[in-house]
Structure 1
């Protein structure tokens, strides 16, 4: 199986190399702003020409693609940036590529070719506000042993941990470098290698996976996930546990003098706390999804509308702290890596309101009801466990193929009409896209 995989490592640069990393990130930001200013000037010139009645070939050509922007940059770079030779040409190419992608996303969104939220026109990047990053796609970049990476015009930079997982693939011919991205997060620099890797995927599930069998996963807020096996995975709630530190650091930052050294120190402290929260959440989600993909042959999750759920101000912080969408994203590729399958249940399937024993539905079930009581077979079961069991039963009940590709999600047909009465925060099956529906929060 050929797949595109990223390997990310933390860098340990010396002072000269740190200055080079900052210089390359600044070069990418500079050329992005230069290109955006040139595009806006061309658009203004064309609007003025149209007001005078000009049309067709007489109008100013607006550079909108990467080749056009790169051609114009090569014509004027000696005048606008005489220092450009101090940085790799790849840093400038990366900045122009970011601008070309932003312009394309804007035009596609405006013309209806791009789904999702409306994309606005690109804005200028400000140092200290925008993310510092640059990218190599050509040149002599890549690992230089297990503890160093080679970055053009920067040098041989040490990394914090051995890169055996990457260097072993490259040495055996099971991987090919496609690019390298240098970026800064909370004061630390990282390098991420994009690799076209060959992975050995088992044709049939391993005995360990067969022992696990299908599993339904009900993502929630109180618990990170409730499995159909009865296991309840605790939610570490990294953001909630760090709220006190975040409030203290935020107050100190807001009270500092703009432009002072103390403000920069407090900003670094605040960014470090946010990065620690993100790392804790990422670690928990990776452990959970890896265990599900390796221990079970089929994993069933719901198609939750997380973007709609976070619009509920009472649930927004708790939902964002769990990373529900990240669970599905990771399961999407990990099930393919380990030979298992991912089944996506329909967003409108009433998993919480349906009895997992006999199929009776309780249309009056609310979010405050944490225990499901069946009036038909008198089953009493935890609400989330009941939902997870219903998700697992979909695999046996469905006659359609189970997919594990995100672009071919299986929409599970409902056995009957959706209940008229809805839970708070949810929407009816016939609701239009203009009023985004919401999935169950817990």
Structure 2
């Protein structure tokens, strides 16, 4: 199983300059190749009879060596891998565009998403890694033991440099303390488990919202492009980075706990993009990080030998009673306590939903791949809910 490993580099000023130079060459190669390919596309549209073959990554690199490198000596001061991988990434971006799975690639700007990729003579040793031309780079944490990557990507964010590469890990099935758990996500609490545990979200954006607003207000009154404006932008970027890291840390701890200690985990297929379209809930939904939660849980269940079951998006987990199986016709978001008219059962709304989700782990509506189809779930939901709840009890 391939996993991505990313860590921060511990650099001196000379190494920072070399990394920035590599990122600049990669950005220049990308922008040059993008301008050239756009000219070719415009020519082919205007002249249908005299079309030029769209270049591959190899063609672009050959033209770069013949036309661009002789005019710019600083290309020879960095590794040849940096522009080569940039043109390869550009060719892949155009392929995704032609398949209509992504938008056309855009020109890159200095200071935004600076990165480059290197391959060749790479070597890892405890807390340092050797890369071509630049040499040994120290890291703040120990690198994976006994693994030599084939390529590495070095990127900059908030004036900090990170290195990332892929490592191969054998999935290990850890002993599980709980067989089945239902996990209901929400904006009030991040996750409510069917076992009764409630995990509060970090709500890092809410915590630093006033400070962020103040920094953005001060930045608006500075001359754009000035040194003071650049300093203000760095402060804003650092705070955004801190907010994102706090959110990721909370999600990593929760998903690791779920994958390590539970054999089967049941969650809902939430329509996150639709929830973000709601102006009243968008800020709270984005602050929780529902998509990142599912992404992390997806690979961690494979890593620790557990099973992830995703309930259908239209499955009425919040409206169904976990005691008798009666389904309510409507349930407003303000009703935080579930009250069943059929059996007078009273329970916390999120806990009731998690209990219903846990029942799906043994339900016949769950397919072999762990997904609940919309048609099957709606047809069998009311008939099977009572039997599945009795099995859990």
Q: Tell me the TM-score normalized by structure 2.
A: 0.92
Distance 1:71 1:146 in 2: 38
Residue 385 (str. 1) matches residue 375 (str. 2): no
Q: CA deviation at 1:4?
A: 1.0
Q: CA deviation at 1:101?
A: 2.1
Q: Secondary structure at the match of 2:73?
A: coil
8 Å contact kept, 2:179–2:264: yes
Q: Which runs of 5+ in 1 are unaligned?
A: 171-175, 420-442
Distance 1:305 1:82 in 2: 51
Aligned to 1:188: 160
Q: CA deviation at 1:80?
A: 4.3
8 Å contact kept, 2:365–2:377: no
Distance 2:367 2:43 in 1: 55
8 Å contact kept, 2:122–2:149: no
Aligned to 1:120: 103
More displaced 10-residue stretch of structure 1: 19-28 or 75-84: 75-84
Aligned to 2:373: 411
Q: Secondary structure at the match of 2:356?
A: helix
Q: Which runs of 5+ in 2 are unaligned?
A: 383-393
The match for 1:199 among 130, 149, 170 is 170
Residue by residue over 1:66-120, the C-alpha shift from the partner in whole angstroms, topping out at 9 and shown as x without a partner, is 22322322332334433211111111022112211221221111xxxx3xxxx33
Q: Tell me the TM-score normalized by structure 1.
A: 0.82
Aligned to 1:162: 142
Q: CA deviation at 1:229?
A: 0.9
Q: Secondary structure at the match of 1:313?
A: coil
8 Å contact kept, 1:302–1:345: yes
8 Å contact kept, 1:348–1:418: no
Aligned to 2:130: 150
Residue by residue over 1:209-256, the C-alpha shift from the partner in whole angstroms, topping out at 9 and shown as x without a partner, is 1x3120000111110101111111111200110101111111122222
Query: What is the RMSD of the two structures over their aligned residues, measured on CA atoms?
Result: 1.9
Q: CA deviation at 1:399?
A: 6.0
The match for 1:59 among 34, 44, 51 is 51
8 Å contact kept, 2:365–2:380: no
- Structure-to-structure mapping, 1:340-419, within 5 angstroms: 340-398=306-364, 400-403=366-369, 409-411=371-373, 413-416=376-379
Aligned to 2:292: 326
Q: Secondary structure at the match of 2:377?
A: coil
Q: Secondary structure at the match of 2:310?
A: strand
Aligned to 2:43: 45
Rate the CA distance shift 1:311–1:178 in 2: closer, same or farther, 3 A: farther
Residue 301 (str. 1) matches residue 267 (str. 2): yes
Distance 2:207 2:366 in 1: 43
The match for 2:69 among 55, 65, 78 is 78
Aligned to 1:262: 228
Q: CA deviation at 1:126?
A: 1.4
8 Å contact kept, 1:341–1:402: no
Q: Secondary structure at the match of 1:213?
A: strand
More displaced 10-residue stretch of structure 1: 247-256 or 264-273: 247-256
8 Å contact kept, 1:17–1:155: no
Residue by residue over 1:116-166, the C-alpha shift from the partner in whole angstroms, topping out at 9 and shown as x without a partner, is xxx3322211113x3000012x211232x2222212121212212222xx0
Aligned to 2:258: 292
Residue by residue over 1:324-346, the C-alpha shift from the partner in whole angstroms, topping out at 9 and shown as x without a partner, is 11111111111111111100100
Distance 2:33 2:208 in 1: 40
What is the number of equivalent residue pairs in this alignment?
381
